[in-house]
Amino acid sequence: MGPGKLASVLAAVLVLAPAFAQAQVPAWRAQQQQRQERRQQRAQRQERAGEHRAQNQPGHAGDWLRRFKDLPPDQQRRELENDPQFKKLPPPRQAQMLKRLQHFSSLPPQRQAQILNRMEIWEHLTADQKHQAREIFQQFKQLPPDRRKALNRAIRSLRDLTPEQREQRINSGQFDSEFSPQERSLLRRASRLPLAPGDGLQAEPPEE
């Protein structure tokens, strides 16, 4: 190759090199973006899988009661005091749990089953649903006892209805005359939660 031809080739390379490099930059960025999107998708899948495992793994609040609810009260107390997770709790919390266990043990079987059912529903609510439920509980607790009873009767009457039928019932003339706007708002919000069709609202949400 002569000097003139070699100079032409080098000139062509120098002219084309910047254009070639510019063409490669978008492709490289696209590859980087694709890899980042794949990493994000993997992270999201892992997060969802972790949430699924957390929802289905043992250790929920109601599991212990379901396991030992048929034992005599003194044996229940011993089992709780020997539980490794219980031993890690501060003394005030331990005393509170022992008191609640004593109260649970004193209830009739039907009432115990209702509490366990409510705890099971609560354990499977999403974080957003639990937040909404706590707000509803807080407003419900501030009502007079007779109004709380009235709202619980209404909630039980909505138990077997579809979401559309519940909305129609809450907006009906009967509910309009029986409940205040605030109470109807509570009914509407409660009726949209899986917790609502149970045995009614309580003054406090279930223990987690």
d(CA 74, CA 163): 45
Q: What is the mean pLDDT of residues 100-119?
A: 86
Q: What average pLDDT does the segment 168-188 reach?
A: 92
Q: How far apart are the first and last CA of the chain?
A: 83
- pLDDT-above-90 percentage for the chain: 17
**Percentage above 70 pLDDT, the chain:** 65
Q: What is the DSSP string of 53-73?
A: HHHHSS--HHHHHHHHTTS-H
Mean of all residue pLDDT scores within the chain = 74
How many Å apart are CA 205 and CA 195, to the nearest integer?
10
Rounded CA Rg of the chain: 31
Mean pLDDT of 73-80: 90
Neighbours of 83 (CB within 10 A): 14
Say yes or no to pLDDT of 144 above 90.
Answer: yes
Q: Provide CB contacts within 8 A for 194, sequence distance 6+.
A: 121, 124, 125, 129
| pLDDT: which is higher, 99 or 119 | 99
Dmax (CA) of the chain? 106
d(CA 15, CA 19): 8
pLDDT at 65: 86
Mean pLDDT over 164-171 rounds to 91
The torsion region of residue 162 among left (phi > 0), alpha (psi -120 to 50) and beta comes to beta
Tokens of 41: 């998708």
pLDDT, mean of residues 74-96: 90
pLDDT tens figures, 15-53: 444 443 444 445 555 566 677 677 666 655 554 444 443
- Taking 70 as the threshold, does the pLDDT of residue 189 lie above it? yes
Which has more pLDDT, 181 or 42? 181
Cα separation, 167 vs 26, whole angstroms: 53
pLDDT beyond 50 at 196: no
